[in-house]
Chain A
Amino acid sequence: MTIDTTAPTSDLASRRQTRMDPVAMADAMGTAGDETRSPAPQQVMPRLIAHFHRASGHFGGQVLTFILTIAAALVASVPMIWLAGSDLWLTTTALFGGALGSGPAIAETMVQMIPLLIAGLAVAVAFHASLFNIGVEGQLLFGGLVAGIVGATVNLPPVLLMIACILAGMIGGALFALIPALLKAYRGAHEVVTTIMMNFVAVAVSEYAVAPSGPFVASDQPSATDRVPEGTQLPIIWDGTRLHAGLLVALAAVAIVTWVLYRTPIGFRLRLMGANQGAARASGVSIERMTILALLASGALGGLAGAVQVLGVYGRFYSAFSPGYGFDAIAVALLGALSPIGVVASGFFFAVLHAGSVPLQAIAGISREMVGVVSGLVVAFVAAQPAMLRLWSGWRKPAVDDRAIETGAETPPAAEKTASMEMPS
Chain B
Amino acid sequence: MSHLLTISLVISALHLALPILMPMLGGLISERSGVMNIGLEGMMLIGAFSAVLVTYFTGSPWLGLVGALCSGVLSGSALALMTVTLRGDQVVASAAINLIGAGLTAALIPVIWDIDGLTPSVAKIPSIHVPFLEDLPAVGRIFRSLSLVDYICFALVFLVWWVLFRTDAGLRIRACGESAESADVAGIAVVRTRFFAVVSSGVFGALGGAYLSIVTLDMFQASMTQGRGFLALAAMVFGKWRVWPGALACIAFGFADAIALRAQILWRGIPHELLIALPYVLALFALATFVGRASGPAGVGKPFTRA
Interface of A is mostly: helix
Return chain B residues, CB-CB under 8 Å to A402.
305
Q: Which of A43, A375, A386 contacts B103 (CB 8 A)?
A: A375
**Which one of A42, A199, A214, A387 has the highest number of Cβ atoms from chain B below 10 Å of its Cβ?**
A42
Taken together as a complex, chains A and B put the C-alpha atoms of A197 and B101 apart, in Å, by 19
B283: interface (CB < 8 Å)? yes
Q: A200-B277, A366-B107, A367-B111 are in contact. List 19 more A-B contacts (CB 8 A).
A: A42-B300, A42-B301, A47-B303, A83-B111, A85-B111, A188-B294, A189-B288, A189-B294, A196-B227, A197-B227, A197-B283, A211-B273, A372-B100, A376-B104, A379-B92, A380-B97, A387-B85, A424-B307, A425-B305
- Whether B91 and A192, one on each chain, are in contact in the complex, defined by CB atoms closer than 8 angstroms, is yes
Partner of B111, one of A84, A374, A385: A84
Contact check, A207 vs B273: say whether CB atoms are below 8 A apart. Answer: yes
Q: Which of B164-185 contact A (CB under 8 A)?
A: 181
Complex interface residues of chain B between 72 and 109 (CB less than 8 A to chain A): 78, 82-83, 85-93, 95-104, 106-109
Contact with B along A187-230 (1 / 0, CB 8 A): 11110111011111101110110010110000000000000000
Q: Please measure, in the bound complex, the distance between the C-alpha atom of A371 and the C-alpha atom of B109, giving whole angstroms.
A: 15
Given the known inter-chain contacts A45-B91, A367-B111, please indicate yes or no for A380 contacting B82, CB distance below 8 A.
Answer: yes
The answer to the question of A398 belonging to the interface, with a C-beta cut-off of 8 Å to chain B, is: no
A80 adjacent to B107 (CB under 8 Å):
yes
Residues of A within 8 A of B288 (CB): 179, 182-183, 187, 189
Q: Is A369 an interface residue (CB 8 A)?
A: yes
CB distance from A364 to the nearest CB of B (A): 12
Interface status of B38 (Cβ within 8 A of chain A): yes
Minimal beta-carbon separation of A190 from chain B (angstroms): 7
- The answer to whether A39 touches B295, judged by C-beta atoms less than 8 angstroms apart, is yes
Query: Is A132 an interface residue when CB atoms closer than 8 A count as contact?
Result: yes
Partner-binding segment picked from B8-16, B17-25, B187-195, B229-237 = B229-237
Is B96 a contact partner of A373 (Cβ separation < 8 A)?
no
Given contacts A132-B91, A383-B82, contact A204 B295 (CB under 8 A): no
Q: Is B222 an interface residue (CB 8 A)?
A: yes
Across-interface contacts of A193 in B (CB, < 8 A): 38, 230, 233-234, 237, 283, 287
Complex CA distance for A338 and B39, rounded to whole angstroms: 22
Contact A44 B301 (CB under 8 A): yes
A380 near B100: Cβ-Cβ < 8 Å: yes
Q: Is the interface of B mostly helix, strand, loop or mixed?
A: helix
List chain A residues, Cβ under 8 A from B280: 197-198, 200-201, 204
Q: Which of A211, A371, A376, A425 contacts B307 (CB 8 A)?
A: A425
B103 contacts across to A, CB distance below 8 A: 369-376
User: Does B3 have its Cβ within 8 Å of any Cβ on chain A?
Assistant: no
Residue A134 at the B interface, CB < 8 A?
Answer: yes
Q: A383 and B92 in contact (CB under 8 A), knowing A201-B281, A370-B103, A372-B106?
A: yes
A-B residue pairs, 9 tightest by C-beta: A372-B103, A376-B99, A376-B100, A387-B86, A204-B277, A380-B96, A208-B273, A373-B103, A383-B88
Say whether, besides A193-B234, A372-B99, A424-B307, A384 and B274 are in contact (CB < 8 Å): no
A94 within 8 A of partner (CB): no
Given contacts A211-B273, A367-B106, contact A190 B237 (CB under 8 A): yes
Instruction: Give the residue name and chain of the B residue nearest to A76 (CB).
Output: B100
- Interface residues in B271-291 (C-beta closer than 8 Å to A): 271, 273-274, 276-277, 280-281, 283-284, 287-288, 291
List residues of B whose CB falls within 8 A of some A CB: 36, 38, 78, 82-83, 85-93, 95-104, 106-111, 116, 181, 222, 226-227, 230-231, 233-234, 237, 271, 273-274, 276-277, 280-281, 283-284, 287-288, 291, 293-303, 305, 307
Q: Which of B86, B96, B307 contacts A377 (CB 8 A)?
A: B96
Given A204-B277, A372-B106, decide whether A387 and B88 contact each other with a Cβ distance below 8 A: yes
Q: Is residue A351 contacting chain B, with contact meaning CB distance below 8 A?
A: no
Distance, CA A385 to CA B86, complexed state (A): 9
| Cα separation A255 to B293 with both chains bound (whole Å) | 38
Selected from B99, B283, B299, the residue in CB contact (under 8 A) with A331 is B99
Bound Cα distance from A370 to B280, whole angstroms: 28
Chain A's nearest CB lies how many Å from the CB of B279? 8
For B88, the closest partner residue in chain A by CB is: A383
In the complex, chain B residues whose CB is within 8 Å of the CB of A371? 103
> A239-259, CB under 8 A of B: which get 1 and which 0?
000000000000000000000
Pairwise interchain contact B93-A376, C-beta atoms closer than 8 A: no
* A residues apposed to B, CB below 8 Å: 39-45, 47-48, 80, 83-85, 132, 134, 179, 182-183, 187-190, 192-194, 196-201, 203-205, 207-208, 211, 213-214, 327, 330-331, 334, 366-367, 369-377, 379-380, 382-388, 402-403, 424-425
Asked if B295 and A384 make an inter-chain contact with CB atoms under 8 angstroms apart, the answer reads: no
Given known contacts A190-B237, A375-B103, A208 and B92 CB-to-CB distance under 8 angstroms: no
Q: Can you list 19 A-B pairs, Cβ within 8 angstroms, ordered by A?
A: A44-B89, A44-B90, A45-B89, A84-B111, A85-B111, A193-B38, A197-B280, A198-B284, A201-B280, A201-B284, A203-B277, A204-B274, A204-B276, A208-B271, A367-B109, A372-B102, A376-B101, A379-B93, A387-B88
In the assembled complex, the CB of A22 is this many whole angstroms from the nearest CB of chain B, namely: 19
Select A384's contact among B82, B110, B297, beta carbons within 8 Å. B82
Q: Decide: A376 and B96 in contact? CB cutoff 8 A.
A: yes
Minimum Cβ distance to chain A for residue B276 (Å): 5
Q: Assess A213 versus B99: contact at CB under 8 Å? Given A369-B106, A383-B92.
A: no
B240 to chain A, nearest CB (A): 12
In the bound assembly, the distance between CA atoms of A309 and B92 in angstroms comes to: 27
Question: Which residues in A have their C-beta under 8 angstroms from that of B111?
Answer: 80, 83-85, 367
Kindly state the separation between the CA atoms of A194 and B288 in the bound complex, as whole angstroms: 10
